[in-house]
Chains A and B, each alone.
Chain A
Amino acid sequence: MTHAEMGSTALWLMLLLGAYHGINPGMGWLFAVALGMQEQKESAVATALVPIALGHALSIGIVVLAAAFLGMALPQEAIRYSVAALLFGLGISSLVRHYHPRWVRMRVGFRDLTIWSFLMASAHGAGLMLLPVLLGSSTVEAAGRMAGHHHTSAAASPVVALLATAVHTAAYLAVTGLIAWVVYSKFGLAVLRKAWLNFNLVWAVALVITSVVTLLM
């Protein structure tokens, strides 16, 4: 398995999407900071990041793996249209109103945080957002292989899907961890009041744009 098989553009896009998910306060770093403040120690921030990253990876992994396996059975067009429709629906509904999973608990352990992060990423369609990149990547891959004799799958292979999840999560963890640490130990939470762009709005727009791109691919 080499990077070349995923394509360097796809790889960069995976990293970028990971960073984008990491920046969103609702996707992890803010909870880590809150737990640091609850325990009144910096190490609690770091400890929280592990289950948060795990939950995020699980949510992403399930979606891209499911797409990969579906891709073996279904024609690529079917996958592409369904992904576009899902992204579009999710984007529009979050433009109309911001839905968030019901979650009240603040005293959370490893398991709670993993579930929380999984729910947050899933509810925001984090995994779905990756699919167009993987679809695009496999289109290129498929075109390249046309010359050879291989049977080509419509979507990315499960191995590529897992690699993508790992790359994405690494970028996500790096960014969410960095922000958590900087906010906790340098800036403090006052930054929230000035710099908390409406990510849900930006996110919704991103979902809709991604869906259009998926259709045009």
Chain B
Amino acid sequence: MSLMPDPTFYPSPKMAMQAPPERLAYVALLNAGKNGQCDAMGVIDLDPRSAGYGRLVGQTDFPRGDNELHHFGWNACSACLCPQAPHPHMERRYLIVPGIGSSRIYILDTKPDPKQPKIVKVIEPEEFIKKTGYTSPHTIHCGPDCIYGSALGSATGDGPGGIFLMDANTFELKGQWEQDRGPQQLAYDFWWHLGHDTMITSEWGTPNMVKDGVNPELLLAGKYGHKIHIWDLDKRRHEQEIDLGAEQQWVLELRPSHDPNKAYGFVGVGISLKDLSSSIWMWYREDGAKKGKWAVRKVIEIPAEPADPEKLPPLLKGFKAVPPLVTDINLSLDDRFLYVSCWGTGEFIQYDVSDPANPKKTGSVYLGGIVRRAAHPNKPKQALNGGPQMVEISRDGKRVYFTNSLYAPWDEQIYPDGVKSWMVKLDADPKGGMKIDEKFFVEFDGLRAHQVRLEGGDASSDSYCYSEAR
């Protein structure tokens, strides 16, 4: 415990935007080749004045290679400043790294050597299952009272998936979060509106539905997730189920407005069975910001692109089109720009969402893609595979980073030649627009890069309790 607050905690998102630029990124690296290599946490140098800029400058190997590391998070963040039970003298120091393939959770200490995080605790699958009743831990968020995580399935690998809790000091699992889950079965992402005591959860599929690849029968029958769920964050009770329609499959990343007074957010949908399009939906409170039921509306639709079947993987040949496959989205801290990854077409799009119900496309770049294979300006002759995927935004909103792998069993179906992994950086214009940083092109040898976390926090690591939008 320190005597003054952790300097990386900010009361409001507006203040967090004044934070100094990040110098390091932590990137989950997973062994997809089953080639005896281990999973790892990679450390990338982001300081443009450093000799190692845009390079892997540290790597912590995990003892195993079966984890399928996904959306890891910090032990503590700006939510520690929340007024209900403030504990600002925690340190943002430990990374909580869940494996959806193994149901194992690693705790990494970044303090002794930020470029070489140390594994200080491992929660084995047996313990995870015994204490939470869940498998496949997926997303980690630090909350005002403890660490929250989502998990895809029950102990048997079927539904229900849900939310579990972990003590932020001891990293002891504290069991399932839900008091009453109502009709909720499928799980994936979660986040909250702290100022509205509301949690939102989304739906992908149970571990058994996803671990062997996309199941075309389940997909065409509309059996993957197509709903979001609204919960009372305090009472841990299911309040409302909102169905986007069975044709909207894979309701994935949830990005609530960062301003705790606002009551809207965005969720990305992977694919529509009607026309292979992807879409972004806005959820919002119907009767003003304070009370009332929640509703959704589609605010962005990204169409599939016609394609030569020769260039498509077996799964898509019959459709003669490339679906955009929106797999990740992210919202800048001022709630102004929404970034959208189209993993199928290789497009990465920036929207101005100042008016959240009417997004305006303000920028677009192409990298990789099933058909396009767009190259990076750093190596213009090298065709890239994979596409824009896990995206992270700096706190000041000026830099955007993303990697190109999705989920090993699905990577093989969509990119059968094997995703060769890379990470890129874009410079974003505060007025709109973005361009690729030519000097920043990280290639990973044999390991696949997934979630990125930035030193000191980023646009999806922290939640805030104070609104400065007066």
Contacts and interface: CB of A to CB of B under 8 A. Distances in A.
Interface of A: 25-26, 30-31, 33-34, 37-38, 40, 97-98, 100-107, 116, 120, 188-190, 192-194, 196-198, 200-201
Nearest to B236: A104
Contact of B89 (A30, A190, A200): A200
B253 to A, nearest CB: 23
Interface string B445-470: 00000000000000000000111101
A198 B234 contact: no
A192 B11 contact: yes
Contacts of A31: 83-84
A52 to B, nearest CB: 11
Contacts, number: 102
Contacts of B82: 34, 106
Given A192-B5, A192-B11, A37 B467 contact: yes
B85 A102 contact: yes
Given A26-B86, A98-B87, A116-B84, A189 B197 contact: no
23 contacts: A26-B85, A26-B86, A30-B86, A31-B83, A33-B466, A34-B82, A37-B261, A38-B260, A40-B470, A97-B1, A100-B85, A100-B87, A100-B145, A102-B85, A104-B144, A104-B233, A105-B233, A116-B84, A189-B15, A190-B11, A192-B5, A197-B4, A198-B1
A101 B85 contact: yes
A129 B169 CA distance: 27
Interface in B79-107: 81-89
Contacts of A40: 261, 467, 470
Contacts of B194: 106
A104 B1 contact: no
Top 9 closest pairs, chain A to chain B, by CB? A100-B85, A189-B11, A31-B83, A105-B234, A34-B83, A103-B84, A30-B83, A104-B234, A198-B89
Interface residues on B, range: 35 or more
A125 to B, nearest CB: 16
Nearest to A41: B470
Contacts of B4: 194, 196-198
Contacts of B261: 37-38, 40
Interface in B51-90: 81-89
Interface of B: 1-5, 7, 9-12, 15, 81-89, 143-145, 169, 194-197, 233-234, 260-261, 290, 465-468, 470
B11 to A, nearest CB: 4
Contacts of B466: 33-34, 37, 189
Contacts of B89: 98, 198, 200-201
A192 B81 CA distance: 9
Given A116-B84, A193-B7, A193-B9, A37 B197 contact: no
A189 B2 contact: no
Contacts of B260: 38, 106
Contact of A200 (B83, B87, B195): B87
B93 to A, nearest CB: 15
A102 B88 contact: no
B456 to A, nearest CB: 13
A53 B433 CA distance: 51
A84 B260 CA distance: 43
A33 B83 contact: yes
A7 to B, nearest CB: 35
A180 to B, nearest CB: 11
A102 B169 CA distance: 14
A196 B470 contact: no
A77 B145 CA distance: 39
Given A189-B11, A200-B89, A104 B195 contact: no
